[in-house]
Amino acid sequence: MREYLLVFVVAAAVTFLATPVARALALRIGAVAGVRARDVHAKPTARLGGLAMLAGLYAGLAVADRLPFLSQVSRDWSEPRAVLVAATLICLLGVADDKWELDSLTKLAGQMVAAAVMVQMGVQFSFAINWDSETTLSLGPETAVPISILAVVVMVNAMNFIDGLDGLAAGVAAIAAGATFYFAYSLAVLNGFYRASPAALLAAVTAGVCVGFLPHNFNPARLFMGDSGSMLIGLLSASSMISVTGQVAYGGYAGPSRSLPSLIPLAIPLAVLMVPFLDLGLAVIRRTKAGRSPFAPDKMHLHHRMLEIGKSQVRAVLFMYFWAALVGFGGVAASFSSAPLPILLAILGFGLLGLVVLLLLGQREARRDANAAVGPRTG
């Protein structure tokens, strides 16, 4: 655990220190986000935050490669190298978009190339659920490769879609990575697996780069992560998700709820990443029904709805953090419980309570603003 903590701290520290450098470079080359009708920020803001996060990723994995315990991950598995190569490709694609604003098809093609490289280098689903029993089936490359590429591209775009408020994507990704690490590490402890695993390492370094970037990106943001950052953390999240769910035969493993033992590992990342997945799904349905491209931008994402309800960008972001943590860590806790139903009901209850609180706070602020606009009565 101490070596994982060290990797997390190094990734966070390097990202934090590299972010001002990325901001200076963005201002120098003109990679700046202007103010558009759908945007929330009120003034032009530099992008290229992904470069700082990439530096943190390299530093974290480099340190892990030199530690006595975690160095075995690189020796025994190809995932760290695959992630570094693919992360570099997708970050460079994002840099080009941050500077020149590429069209959606070009970005999609680049995402598929980066995903294919990572999958071909070893980050891919190896097992699937056998629905007739509590066992898993081995997947051949003709099935594993396209499914894995699709999963990566979906996750990349899900993270890209929620990057609309200061600190939102970085915070949600950090929470998701923390919950993924909790699940992967606890599963190894309970089942006697080797505790140095690609899933736990990738989750720890992902959490580190997001936490290191967050102080510069929280409202009011001094630097946006841009597509170079949102696509990068989407790819990192996908890599740890695939590693923890698709590369271990979970049939009959110990610990999680016995009700659906082989389904729980697949449900956990979906719960952890529910916020970006839900936002992506709603956006695709909404835009398709309107006869528009699924990638056409609008101002109707979940974070925009929360902003309308809460009347405050910080409040909306904190609520999304609360939701992500509640669903993610609550889902992990339920998976390791012999009675998961009460935990799941508690998650639902707390989620609804949080939404009510946000709504009440927003209404109170709206009434205060209305009273201030009317002004004091005279006579």
d(CA 247, CA 135): 14
Which contiguous run of DSSP H or E holds residue 127?
strand 127-129
- Phi (first) and psi of residue 363, to 5 degrees: -65, -40
Locate 163 and state its tokens.
Answer: 């990057």
Query: Going by C-beta distance under 8 Å and a sequence separation of 6 or more, which residues neighbour residue 330?
Result: 271, 343, 344, 346, 347
User: Nearest 5°: CA angle at 83, between 121 and 64?
Assistant: 115
Locate 145 and state its tokens.
Answer: 């490769």
Amino acid at 83: V
d(CA 172, CA 158): 11
Judge whether 334 and 340 are in contact, CB under 8 Å.
Answer: yes
Judge whether 98 and 232 are in contact, CB under 8 Å.
Answer: no
d(CA 352, CA 117): 41
The answer to whether 219 is a known ligand-binding residue is no
DSSP assignments along 155-171, one per residue: HHHHHHHHTTSTTHHHH
Locate 293 and state its tokens.
Answer: 């491209």
Judge whether 258 and 171 are in contact, CB under 8 Å.
Answer: no
Local structure of residue 251 (DSSP, 8 states): T
Helices (H), the chain: 2-29, 49-64, 71-76, 79-100, 104-120, 141-162, 168-191, 198-217, 226-245, 264-272, 274-289, 302-310, 313-335, 340-374
The answer to whether 160 is a known ligand-binding residue is yes
Instruction: For residue 103, give Cα distances in angstroms to 94, 96, 106, 157, 208.
Output: 12, 11, 6, 14, 31
Binding-site residues, in ranges, read 160, 227
Going by the annotation, the residues of the binding site for Mg(2+) are 160, 227
